[in-house]
Structure 1
Amino acid sequence: MGLFTANINTNIFHEWVTQDLLTKFLPTCVIIMDNATFYKRQGVKTAFANAGYTLEYLLSYFPDFNDIEPKWAQA
């Protein structure tokens, strides 16, 4: 795994995906990511597609999938 000593941004995420992450998946994986803006760079989408992976995004906001949300509601 790569180590970056900076805040994440589109360029850093793209470099990590193309240089490190894509080498670790099994063939025909489905990759699921949330909707952070730096995940949606066209180059990232293209890199996953060219490697033969399916890329899916979670819904914009769906608290039922987040286990912490009921606890915050109680607070």
Structure 2
Amino acid sequence: NINSIVFYHWCKHKLIPSLKTKCVIVMDNARFHKSKRIQKLLNRHGHRILWLPPYSPDLNPIEKKWAQVKFLRQGWMENDLSKLFYD
């Protein structure tokens, strides 16, 4: 599972370094996205957050892919965060 700490570190070490210009980052209303710490981090680096309306999977095309991934990965669990994000 992802929480705000894991998401913060992913944003700081993976997302932000990969963005070459100021961007609009579209996020749904997952609890870990709403962390003030994450919002401040993204804003500090000049990025803006655009929030999707609640309960709008039709506006979030990644939801279909996540459903496929979840189906394919049933029963698999990774306990090592470095393998999950950095391999």
Give the structure-1-normalised TM-score: 0.71
1:26 aligned to which of 14, 20, 24: 20
Shift of 1:50: 0.5
Separation in 1, partners of 2:60, 2:24: 20
Could you tell me which residue of structure 2 aligns to residue 8 of structure 1?
Answer: 2
Determine the C-alpha separation between the residues in 1 that align with 2:34 and 2:16: 16
Tell me which structure has the larger Cα radius of gyration: 1
1:66 positional shift = 5.7
Instruction: Using the TM superposition, name which of 30-39 and 57-66 deviates more.
Output: 57-66
The 3 A distance-change label for structure 1 pair 53 and 21 is same
* Residue ranges of structure 1 left out of the alignment (5+ in a row): 1-6, 69-75
**How much has 1:20 moved relative to structure 2?**
1.4
For residues 1-75 of structure 1, the aligned pairs below 5 Å read 7-62=1-56, 64-65=58-59
- RMSD of Structure 2 on Structure 1 (CA): 1.8
Query: Normalized against structure 2, the TM-score is what?
Result: 0.63
Percent identity between the aligned chains? 34
User: Stretches of 4+ moved more than 2 A in 1?
Assistant: 62-68
Q: Deviations over 1:23-75 (max 9, x none)?
A: 1113121000111000111110001100001111100023553677xxxxxxx
- Secondary structure of 1:20's aligned partner: helix
